Amino acid sequence: MSSLRILVPVKRVLDYTLKPRVNKTQTAIDITGLKQSMNPFDELSIEEAVRLRERKVPVDDILAFSAGPAKSQDVLRTAMAMGADRALHVVEEKEDLEPLGVAKLLAQVVKDEDRNLVILGKQSIDDDAGQTGQMLAGLLGWSQATQASKVEVEGDVVTVTKEVDGGVETVKSKLPMVVTTDLRLNEPRYASLPNIMKAKKKPLVKKALEDYGIDLKKRLKTVKVTEPPVRKGGGKVEDVDGLIGKLKELGAL
């Protein structure tokens, strides 16, 4: 029976409660001075990794990973306060990495660190691409289970219930495997103050993109970023008859 060596990639994104604003030059979202946090789906990934250990599934260690600016260390510390054992940070200040680039980096980390289970969020709430986990599985030739709402590990077999259109589907595979998390998987814990203090002492290794020697040249060019057309409310009606009347007038009924 093989024990789990888990990798959990996390991303620092604009906090989900904030409304994004397009910058004046229409080249990006203006995030300066706004609160950023761990991508909500990545919290579920860390939580699931920690719960596997708490469910007495043998877990060797849980490695949290992030690629991005120096501030990404905040989310790695949060991951460690939630229960990750150590962290790896690939520092990149200039560019936002694309999912394919991140997947290539992760594939190298998986090899360097001898991982056998990678748990990622199903999407990041900034780019909404939903690609990295599947790309990583493809690059490694591993099984994948996306949008997991339940993960069970028995020996070296992982059984995952996935959310699909119209319901759920269950698949199983031997390790190694890539799993991406959906909202229903669990409820992430809050990091307690003692655990936040302890997390400061856990090892966090910093590396540079160059250390990996992977070509991460961007494939996509941003032409422009614009605000979506604004929808204006049409006002209120007094009662149900008014509502039905207005909907008929609008041709919706």
Partner 1 sequence: MYSIARHTALRQARSACLNAARPTVFQQSSLARLLSTLAVLEQREGKLNSSSLAAVTAGTQLGGSVTAILAGKNAKAVAEEASKVEGIEKILYIENEAYDKGLPEHYAPLLVENIKKGGFSHIFAGHSAFGKTLMPRVAALLDVQQISDITAIENENTFVRPIYAGNAILTVESTDSIKIVTLRGTSFAPAAIGSGSAALEEGLDPKSAPTAEWVSESLAKSDRPELSTAERVVSGGRGLKSKEEFDKIIPPLADAIGAAIGASRAAVDSGFADNSLQVGQTGKNVAPQLYLCAGISGAIQHLAGMKDSKVIAAINKNAEAPIFEVADVGLVADLFDAVPEMTEKLKK
Site string for partner 1, 23-42 (x = CB under 8 A): ------x-------------
User: Closer CB to partner 1, residue 16 or residue 190?
Assistant: 16
CA distance 226 to 11: 24
Interaction residues for partner 1, span 100-129 (CB under 8 A): 100, 103, 122-123, 125-129
User: Closer CB to partner 1, residue 21 or residue 200?
Assistant: 21
User: Closer CB to partner 1, residue 52 or residue 177?
Assistant: 177
CA distance 63 to 6: 6
| One residue of 6, 79, 117, 135 binding partner 1 per CB under 8 A | 135
Q: Is 214 in the site for partner 1 (CB under 8 A)?
A: no
Q: Is 137 in the site for partner 1 (CB under 8 A)?
A: yes
| One residue of 33, 194, 213, 234 binding partner 1 per CB under 8 A | 234
User: Closer CB to partner 1, residue 46 or residue 80?
Assistant: 46
176: alpha, beta or left, given left = phi > 0 and alpha = psi -120 to 50?
beta
Query: At a CB cut-off of 8 Å and minimum separation 6, what does 178 contact?
Result: 117, 118, 120, 133, 134, 136, 137, 140, 142, 143, 144, 145
Is 198 strand, coil or helix? Answer: helix
Q: How far is the CB of 202 from partner 1 (least distance, A)?
A: 30
| One residue of 147, 148, 153, 179 binding partner 1 per CB under 8 A | 147
Determine how β-strand 86-91 pairs with β-strand 59-68: parallel
| One residue of 45, 66, 78, 144 binding partner 1 per CB under 8 A | 144
Q: Is 45 in the site for partner 1 (CB under 8 A)?
A: no
Which of 73, 95, 89 has the alpha carbon at shortest distance from 212?
Answer: 89
Phi, psi of 161 (to 5 degrees): -95, 125
Q: How far is the CB of 67 from partner 1 (least distance, A)?
A: 16
Asked, as a colleague might, if the bond just before 176 is cis with ω within 30 of 0, I would say yes
Tokens (6 digits) for 216: 């991460």
Amino acid making up residue 144? Q
CA distance 10 to 124: 9
Q: Is 241 in the site for partner 1 (CB under 8 A)?
A: yes
Q: How far is the CB of 112 from partner 1 (least distance, A)?
A: 19
Interaction residues for partner 1, span 180-209 (CB under 8 A): 182-184
Q: Is 213 in the site for partner 1 (CB under 8 A)?
A: no
Q: Is 151 in the site for partner 1 (CB under 8 A)?
A: no
Helix H or strand E encompassing 90 = strand 86-91
Interaction residues for partner 1, span 158-177 (CB under 8 A): 159, 162-174, 177
